[in-house]
């Protein structure tokens, strides 16, 4: 990740709800990018960035939210491990995108941003 420390500093300036929203946005982008087989590298990069967002956010989250973030980080690791073989399979790619969108929806709900 380019400018790693700058990105971290910028990310950490936001309140927890905004950070969860940013992570949710990345996962929604995965859904969008998963519609094309040409976007494998984009999705891989979104996963990499999301893992950092989780790491930076979990320590300040409630225990329940932190636990969910750990589960998401494990899911991302599974996706990354199988991305090369799964990406050419439209059904598998769609499943990754759909599941990523489900995670996005859960994080947006947990963030409370929709209530503001």
Determine the Cα–Cα distance for residues 59 and 23; give it in Å rounded to an integer: 15
pLDDT at 116: 60
pLDDT at 7: 87
pLDDT at 4: 79
The most distant pair of C-alpha atoms in the chain lies apart, rounded to whole Å, by 41
Determine the Cα–Cα distance for residues 12 and 95; give it in Å rounded to an integer: 31
Determine the Cα–Cα distance for residues 75 and 73; give it in Å rounded to an integer: 5
Return mean pLDDT, the chain. 93
Pick out the chain residues at pLDDT < 50: 1
Termini Cα distance of the chain? 32
The model's pLDDT over 64-96, given as tens digits with 9 standing for 90+, comes to 999 999 999 999 999 999 998 889 999 999 999
> Percent of the chain, pLDDT > 70?
97
């Amino acid at each position: 990740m380019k400018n790693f420390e700058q990105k971290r500093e910028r990310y950490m300036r936001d309140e927890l709800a905004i950070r969860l929203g940013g992570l949710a946005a990345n996962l929604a982008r995965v859904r969008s990018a998963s519609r094309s087989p040409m976007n494998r590298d984009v999705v891989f990069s979104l996963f990499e960035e999301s893992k950092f967002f989780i790491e930076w956010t979990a320590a300040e989250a409630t225990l329940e939210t932190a636990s969910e973030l750990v589960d998401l980080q494990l899911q991302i690791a599974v996706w990354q491990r199988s991305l090369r073989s799964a990406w050419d399979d439209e059904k598998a790619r769609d499943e990754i995108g759909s599941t990523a969108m489900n995670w996005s929806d859960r994080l947006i709900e947990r963030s409370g941003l929709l209530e503001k």
